[in-house]
Amino acid sequence: MSTDRPAEAAAVVPALARDYQRLLRLFPFAYRRAHGAEMLGHLLDATAPGQSRPERRDVVDLLRAAAREWALAPLGPTASERRAATSVLSVVLPALLAIPATRTIGFGVSLVLRDDAPPLLPTAPMVVPWVIWALALLALLAGAGRTGRALAAAAAAAATVTVVALVATGEVHAAYLETGWAVGIAAHAVVVAEHERTTAAGGWQRRATTAAAVTVAVGAYLVATVADTTRLGAPWWASVGSTTWSTQAVVVVLAVIGTAGILVARTRQAVPILAGVIAAVVLGRSQFFWSGSLDPSTVDLGNVLGLLAFSCGAACAGRWVVNRIDELVEVRARLRHDVEQAVGSGTGVV
Amino acid sequence: MVLGMASKPAPRPLQEPAFLVLSALAQGPAHGYGISKDVEESSGGRVTLRAGTLYGAIDRLVAAGLVEVDHEEVVDSRLRRYYRLTAEGGTRLDVEARRVEAQARQALERLAARASRPGRVSGGLSEVPA
């Protein structure tokens, strides 16, 4: 098997090699660095004598693979990094998202139970995506991976539709506030899809960990806000958790936590996605991107798109940093291995 | 072995490309092009793993610890990275192959029993809808 290769490589038309190189340039840089050279060798080995252009099926296959790699790039350049990222994110993201889900669903239920309640959807527009997301989480915790994956994707679609509908109906300020959570729901759908596809079924330990994390997060939220809600006589789901911290202080704390997450090898791969989600959520609740102080009517579509761009930028920047750190770790490990080999073989190192 | 595996999460059935890649590597280390040729031949030309799909599948198998890089060489200025099965990959392929074999055997036994059942004018594979 190891000799199963062309005895000698056929001469390749230069234009063909150039076309393949162009196609491979469509892949993310980190993936190209990992597989670009061997993929080019493979493609050239597979060429028929006299072939001067890439086969259409090869082009379609490469375009599809490049699109897939770009879609998954925030999770990591190769499957190993993605596996590490989804292992952490499949626990952390549900814990993060469970808080707004609990609040919104609680608000929705309180509306439904009131006699003089205003219409549910205009008042709590994100209630449908959050209900679908909660069902997805329950399915995942129950071990129904395929159902959970489908529901998570449906929740992401519903959140996107809700945000678009809010913008279309002129409720841009509401859209601006909810876009961060819509980004979180979409990120969770991608994480679930990748995690369920690549990880062994069962995994009750991970499900138990996720359930515990969700319980702790919701419990911590309730404990943190119970004093305010009691004092103000507000319901538990109301947003009364006012903080005296400025946006800058919150950003500094998050940056410190993010840096710590990057330095720990086990959590490093999850940081870029978390950075993107948290950037969108924090920005949606700060005055930084508003066109004018606290007037909701001044928020426009540009703010929503800017928030999305900022979120993507934070995820990309996080991924860039993590990839560079991975490279350094890899070089260091290789160097250490070479030194150990040199010492072991007695050649010595000066 | 069965008892030992009972405490672990049940492995998800391998998708056909992954199964065929592992099967190709069961013969010994191979590079990407060699794997794709073997997959095409062993599936009778039914499955073709092109470069984009193949390296995605290999990546996932490496991440799952079923396959690892054996060595690299450069031939005619082309990089060839050879992959090999890990011990876990060999075990997983063995389990999967036995599972498929048992299913196929059961299906054939049922078809044979169906064909030999009294009162049937004809039987066998010709009655099985495509």
ipTM given for this complex: 0.76
Tell me the backbone φ, ψ of residue B83, rounded to 5 degrees.
-115, 155
What is d(CA A210, CA A213) in angstroms, rounded to the nearest whole number? 5
Write down the pLDDT at residue A145: 84
* Min Cα separation B96/chain A (Å): 14
In chain B, the residue whose alpha carbon lies closest to the alpha carbon of A198 is: B60
Q: What is the pLDDT of residue A111?
A: 82
Whether residue A128 is predicted with pLDDT greater than 60 in this model: the reply is yes
In angstroms, the CA A314 to CA A33 distance is 23
pLDDT higher than 60, residue A294: no
Residue of B24, B50, B82 with shortest CB distance to A57: B50
**A62 in contact with B at a CB cutoff of 8 Å?**
yes
Structural contact between residues A206 and A90, judged by C-beta atoms closer than 8 angstroms:
yes
Q: Kindly indicate the confidence band of residue A347, based on its pLDDT and cuts at 50, 70 and 90.
A: low
Q: Are B19 and B60 in contact (CB under 8 A)?
A: no
What are the tens digits of pLDDT across the range A181-237? 999 999 999 999 888 776 655 577 888 999 999 999 999 888 887 777 777 777 776
Tokens of A35: 């597989």
Q: Are B64 and A83 a contacting pair at CB < 8 A?
A: yes
Question: Under an 8 A CB cutoff, do A65 and B56 touch?
Answer: yes
Torsions phi, psi for A201 (to 5 deg): -65, 170
Contacts of A6-9 spanning 24+ positions with Cβ under 8 A: A6/A45, A8/B76, A9/A44, A9/A45, A9/B75, A9/B76, A9/B78
Question: CB A38 to CB B55 under 8 A?
Answer: yes
Average pLDDT over residues A321-326: 90
Q: Which of A57, A64, A202 sits opposite B10 (nearest CB)?
A: A202
Query: What confidence score (pLDDT) does residue A154 get?
Result: 96
**Segment B10-68, tens digit of pLDDT:** 567 788 888 999 999 999 999 999 999 999 888 888 888 899 999 988 988 998 889 99
CB A9 within 8 A of CB A45: yes
Which pLDDT band, with edges at 50, 70 and 90, does A315 fall under? very high
Report which DSSP code applies to A74: G
Reported pTM:
0.75
Instruction: Residue B95: name the closest of B22, B17, B21 by CA.
Output: B22
- Cβ separation B33–A200 shorter than 8 A: no
Helix (H, G, I), strand (E, B) or coil at B84: strand
The alpha-carbon gap from B123 to the nearest alpha carbon of chain A, in Å, equals 37
Determine, for residues B27 and A202 on separate chains, whether the beta-carbon distance falls below 8 Å. Answer: no
Distance CA A179, CA A202 (A): 33
- Rounded to an integer, the average pLDDT of B93-98 is 92
CB B22 within 8 A of CB B92: yes
Q: What is the mean pLDDT of residues A261-265?
A: 88
Per-residue confidence at B3, pLDDT binned at 50, 70, 90? very low
pLDDT at A47 over 90: no
How far apart, in Å, do the first and last CA atoms of chain A sit?
A: 42
Residue A350 has pLDDT above 70, yes or no: no
**CA–CA separation, A249 and A24 (whole Å):** 43
**Inter-chain residue contact A42 with B9, CB threshold 8 Å:** no
pLDDT of residue A117: 72
Give residue A101's pLDDT band: very low, low, confident or very high (50, 70, 90).
Answer: very high
Nearest to A35 among B33, B53, B55 (CB): B55
CB contact under 8 A, B10 and A46: no
Residues of B in contact with A25 (CB under 8 A): none
Is residue A5 less than 8 Å (CB to CB) from chain B? yes
Nearest CB to B32; choose among A8, A38, A65: A38
| Better-predicted residue by pLDDT, B44 or B86 | B86
The residue-averaged pLDDT of A3-15 equals 59
* pLDDT tens-digit series, residues A105-125: 988 888 888 777 777 777 888
Q: What is the mean pLDDT of residues A136-141?
A: 94
**A75 to chain B, closest Cα gap in Å:** 14
- Looking at the predicted structure, is the pLDDT value of residue B1 above 90? no
More confident residue, A231 or A258: A258
Task: Please indicate if any CB of chain B lies within 8 Å of the CB of A252.
Answer: no
Chain B CB within 8 Å of residue A19 CB: no
- Average pLDDT along chain A: 84
pLDDT at position B130 is 44
Interface of B with A (CB under 8 A): 8-12, 24-25, 27-34, 36-38, 50-56, 59-60, 62-64, 75-76, 78-82
Q: State whether B79 and A200 contact (CB < 8 Å).
A: no
Q: Residues of A with CB below 8 A from B30's CB?
A: 1-2, 4
Count of pairs with CB atoms under 8 A, one residue in A, one in B: 118
Residue A105 at interface with chain B, using a CB cutoff of 8 Å: no
pLDDT of A159 > 90? The answer is yes
CB contact under 8 A, B32 and A202: no
- Considering just the CA atoms, what is the radius of gyration of chain B in Å? 19
